Amino acid sequence: MFAHEVSESILSKMEKSEFLFHLTGSRYFVGRGSNDADYFTLYTEQVEHFLRELGFSAISKREYGDLNCTLVMRGWDDGGLQIDVQLVKDVELKIQVQEKLKAIGLTHPTKEEWNFAFQLLK
């Protein structure tokens, strides 16, 4: 299931799954993206296993490294779209934080801005 609509082969499988993937990154903050798509969902062993079955693998959290992120998985669809999924500890907090960051006009929040917002909204 998606909190928005995008249709690609792996994205379609994600959408049909029991897991809810929330849009983030440039497609969330500015409404478009280059050749990547970023999502987040609650970390569970089941979602990690599901993503690995789709060909995703773990990457370094450094790129995302906010206080809420447990693991980042990366996969590619057939059309070459890079898909990163952040597996997070608290989905509702992540939603609140990104809504606040967008509301104040940030289009590319830094790790420091994410972490500051997480601390404020905890």
How many Cα atoms occupy the beta-carbon half-sphere of 105 within 13 Å? 0
Rounded mean pLDDT of the chain?
A: 88
Q: What percent of the chain has pLDDT over 90?
A: 65
CB 72 within 8 A of CB 48: no
Structure tokens at 120: 């404020």
Four-point Cα dihedral 28, 38, 67, 118, nearest 10: 10
Length of the chain: 122
- Domains of the chain in start order, with CATH, are 9-121 (3.30.460)
Q: What is the pLDDT of residues 65-101, one digit of tens each?
A: 688 999 999 999 877 889 999 999 999 999 999 999 9
What is the pLDDT confidence band of residue 5, given thresholds at 50, 70 and 90?
very low
How many Cα atoms occupy the beta-carbon half-sphere of 20 within 13 Å? 8
Cα–Cα distance measured from residue 96 to residue 92, given in angstroms and rounded to the nearest whole number: 6
Q: What is the DSSP letter of 1?
A: -
CB 86 within 8 A of CB 98: no
What is the pLDDT confidence band of residue 33, given thresholds at 50, 70 and 90?
low
